Amino acid sequence: MPKKPFPPHPDHKKNRLNLIHELCAHAVANRKPLIIPDTLRDDRCADIPLVVDKPRIRFYATSPRFHTHGRCLGMMCLMDTRSS
């Protein structure tokens, strides 16, 4: 089955989807939850448009969910404009 890109909501801008893909990729690669208390101080996301420009995401957490066969089924993500 070919992989399909995550379909954005009609109101989402392209860079919103890029933020999610870039940060979720770290969690999937490590196969464990990822928590970034302050996105400006984290090299993985300090130059992402939604971090440096509006809405200025400061906190990001994600947790991958895997099938018993190891395939990633999806992610649960939390974002906030305030750091923790």
Q: Is residue 7 pLDDT above 70, yes or no? A: no
Whether domain 14-80 has CATH 3.30.450.40? yes
Handedness of CA 44, 5, 3, 63 (dihedral sign): positive
Query: In the prediction, which pLDDT does 6 show?
Result: 42
As a whole-number percent, the residues of the chain with pLDDT over 90 amount to: 10
Q: Are 57 and 80 in contact (CB under 8 A)?
A: yes
Summarize pLDDT for 13-46 with one digit per residue, the tens.
555 556 566 777 778 888 889 899 999 999 888 7
Q: Is residue 1 pLDDT above 80, yes or no? A: no
Task: Give the distance, in angstroms, between the CA of residue 45 and the centroid of all CA atoms in the same chain.
Answer: 10
